[in-house]
Amino acid sequence: MDFIDARFFEMLFLICFGVSWPMNIAKAVRSKTSKGVSLPFLLICFLGYVFGIISKLVDIQLSYTLAFYCINICMVATCIVLYFVNAQRDRIADNARS
């Protein structure tokens, strides 16, 4: 079990958590609405990944888990962009109804 260390479990955590982001992106693209999406939640997740990346960069021994942090932060950034695109769509639709 020498090959299994904390970084291995950190990688598994990042993979498990990262599986949810593509599903979130697909839902945002299909629904075309920002209703029900929490921007504060997305921003907190983004910030958490920023801190994770910083922790890997300041570590003396650079870890392969950095790649998983980078992949996940890109997906969260995509979710944030889709939030603003869909919020704009919502505003246009609401103005058209008025």
pLDDT tens-digit readout, 88-98: 999 999 999 87
Confidence of residue 5 (pLDDT cuts 50, 70, 90): confident
pLDDT higher than 70, residue 3: no
Q: 78 with 42: CB under 8 angstroms?
A: no
Tokens of residue 77, six digits: 């950034």
